[in-house]
Homo-oligomer: A and B are copies of this chain.
Amino acid sequence: MLPRPTIDDVAAAAGVSRATVSRALRGGHRVSSRAMTAIQQAVARTGYVVNRNARNLASHRAQSVAFVLCEPPQRLVADPSFNLLLSTCAQELTAHDLILTVAVTTGPDLRSWVRRHLLGGQVDGALVVSAHASDPIADELHGAGVPVVVYGTPFPATDPAPGADDIPAPVYVAADDRSGATEAVRHLLGRGRRTIATIAGPPETACGLNRLAGWRDAVGETTDDRLIAVGDYTAAGGQAAMAELLHRAPELDAVFVAGELMAAGAIAALSRAGRRVPDDVAVAGFDDSAVAATIWPSLTTVRRPLAEISHRMVELVLELIDGGSPRSLTLPTELVIREST
């Protein structure tokens, strides 16, 4: 690394003081236009770039936001949703001249690493993504006064711990998984399907629970436990779950699957079992990455507005950083109808 010019070099080159350069560098308030142009030229000439460590140390800010993924990394790899979330957040933050630092947390070591870094004052706020509602990391950061926005539906109607009223839960942005699931199942019913099974997500995840609840809302009292199988959001899991459903309830004519990868696995299982999709069995999934549109038959799915979710998360965390106290948000989903139903 070559020695970089400092603010003093710029000041000298522009014939002004360091303080004036500092003012000019952000906003340029209280700087004469004469000095302003001289400084701009000096910056260009010297190739000056502000040292953020020095700036942040002096100004007690960090100019950065952390993106914390509280999931085993293979889930990040497997689930295209996380990408969209991450890259959209990165772009939004970049547009606000903030830096995004990423942490993938698995295991106690990484969790403590995350704590050390996020609590170290080099982060203005954090975006926490976790399938598990009310992740301890989010609560801890929030309790420590770090502005936090969580992605994920909170568990339905949990009683707050007694005496915890003074520290309200972190702000979250969620998709309305439950209604989305209901809409998908109603669509299946509207297509004349009568025996609609479901492949649910793990019960310890809020979205697993909510999508299952949405299925129940639509199928009504007729709920038959034979029609419920549980997967782990992977294609392999979906395949196994579908095979099991076919075994337990061979008469089924539709299945609502709580994840797109699982749905792709379900379609593979149906194809192997000689059932045609959608003629014999209609399949509706959840989430809408390239996979849903790519497989054959293409998948009818419930789309979460991930881009907007990221957008809102960034918006809310900036509001929190500015001292505001925004409310949590639940955004509606959208049913995308394709060939599989």
Minimum CB–CB distance for A50 against chain B, Å? 6
User: A-B pairs with the 6 shortest C-beta distances?
Assistant: A235-B294, A268-B296, A264-B294, A53-B57, A53-B56, A49-B120
12 A-B residue pairs with Cβ-Cβ distance under 8 Å, sorted by A, are A52-B121, A53-B121, A69-B87, A73-B88, A78-B289, A78-B290, A80-B80, A83-B83, A94-B103, A97-B113, A236-B293, A264-B296
Q: Is the CB of B144 within 8 A of A101?
A: no
Q: How far is the CA of A144 from the CA of B1 in the complex (A)?
A: 7
Number of copies: 2
Q: Is the CB of A290 within 8 A of B116?
A: no
How many of A's residues come within 8 Å of B, CB to CB? 66
Q: How far is the CA of A305 from the CA of B192 in the complex (A)?
A: 46
Q: Out of B73, B77, B91, B106, name the residue touching A104 (CB < 8 Å).
A: B91
Minimum CB–CB distance for A91 against chain B, Å? 5
Q: How far is the CA of A101 from the CA of B97 in the complex (A)?
A: 13
Q: Is the CB of B51 within 8 A of A57?
A: yes
Chain B neighbourhood of A289, CB < 8 A: 77-78
Q: Mark A311-330, 1 if CB is under 8 A from B, else 0.
A: 00000000000000000000
Q: How far is the CA of A184 from the CA of B62 in the complex (A)?
A: 49
A340 interfacial by beta-carbon distance below 8 Å: no
Q: Out of B78, B87, B294, name the residue touching A77 (CB < 8 Å).
A: B87
Given contacts A94-B103, A102-B90, contact A271 B294 (CB under 8 A): no
Closest to A61 in B: B53
Q: Mark A128-166, 1 if CB is under 8 A from B, else 0.
A: 000000000000000011100000000000000000000
A31 interfacial by beta-carbon distance below 8 Å: no
A44 interfacial by beta-carbon distance below 8 Å: no
Minimum CB–CB distance for A80 against chain B, Å? 7
Minimum CB–CB distance for A34 against chain B, Å? 25
Q: Is the CB of B295 within 8 A of A2?
A: no
Q: How far is the CA of A78 from the CA of B293 in the complex (A)?
A: 11
Chain B neighbourhood of A82, CB < 8 A: 83
A119 interfacial by beta-carbon distance below 8 Å: yes
Q: Out of B51, B100, B102, name the residue touching A122 (CB < 8 Å).
A: B51
Minimum CB–CB distance for A304 against chain B, Å? 14
Besides A1-B146, A53-B53, A53-B121, 16 other A-B contacts (C-beta < 8 A): A2-B144, A50-B120, A51-B57, A51-B121, A51-B122, A52-B120, A52-B121, A77-B87, A77-B290, A83-B83, A87-B104, A235-B293, A264-B294, A264-B295, A268-B294, A294-B295
